[in-house]
A = this chain, B = another copy of it.
């Protein structure tokens, strides 16, 4: 196993940071990695907002489901899926473009996340931990206003970075499902109820939750992750963003 693979294996999200700035050069290296990422048609269908204003960080930590650790991160980047830039180029240079549609914005989301993950890997190689904040998709109206977002831009992820405190370095990485439930050959395979039960049981056992009642476990997950206020808000808000991209 080479250094890159080892780093990928050992990497886990960090939510408590040392009270220590990220030096300018390190920050540059992290952002540069975004630029080196593959991008559809070399179009760079993303923009990156570098959130340096402490008050803005605080406001985003509130719009993102009230997670105060966000405001304490020394580096906060918002990755925007951006079709505004190319649409504006086409408009300025008299191409009479159509409005961006669903395919355009999904391609831009992919572009933005590919770039984001490159920064996460680059950061890790420099001893800087990170955490994705999907909640940046919530509260469309407030976030649009805070970040001056035009119509053809969608904040697909926020990533916060910083030096991990010791306890974060030592914490266990959450277990994954067994590969047979995630990777299929040639065609999608829809798991049976028994396979669902086994999939969750195996993972829970690996997590040390061996006596968990699966139905109770799934119901709790559903309440907390799927029927909860933040999940409903994310759907409402994401719909607002996507409504601009109707072909």
Cβ-based interface call for A218 (8 A): yes
When the two chains form the complex, which single residue of B103, B150, B175 contacts A235, counting CB atoms closer than 8 Å?
A: B103
**CB-CB contacts of A13-54 with B at 8 A, as 1s and 0s?**
100000000000000010111011111111110111111110
In the assembled complex, which residues on chain B have CB atoms less than 8 Å from the CB atom of A137? 103, 106-107
CB within 8 Å of B: which A195-223 residues: 196-197, 200, 214-215, 218-219, 221-223
When the two chains form the complex, which single residue of B38, B50, B120, B191 contacts A38, counting CB atoms closer than 8 Å?
A: B120
Copies in the complex: 2
Chain B residue at minimum C-beta to C-beta distance from A94: B215
> What's the least CB distance linking A12 to chain B, in Å?
8
Cα A147 to Cα B184 in complex, Å, equals 10
Q: Are A110 and B132 in contact (CB under 8 A)?
A: yes
Chain B residue at minimum C-beta to C-beta distance from A29: B5
Cβ-based interface call for A247 (8 A): yes
Cβ-based interface call for A171 (8 A): no
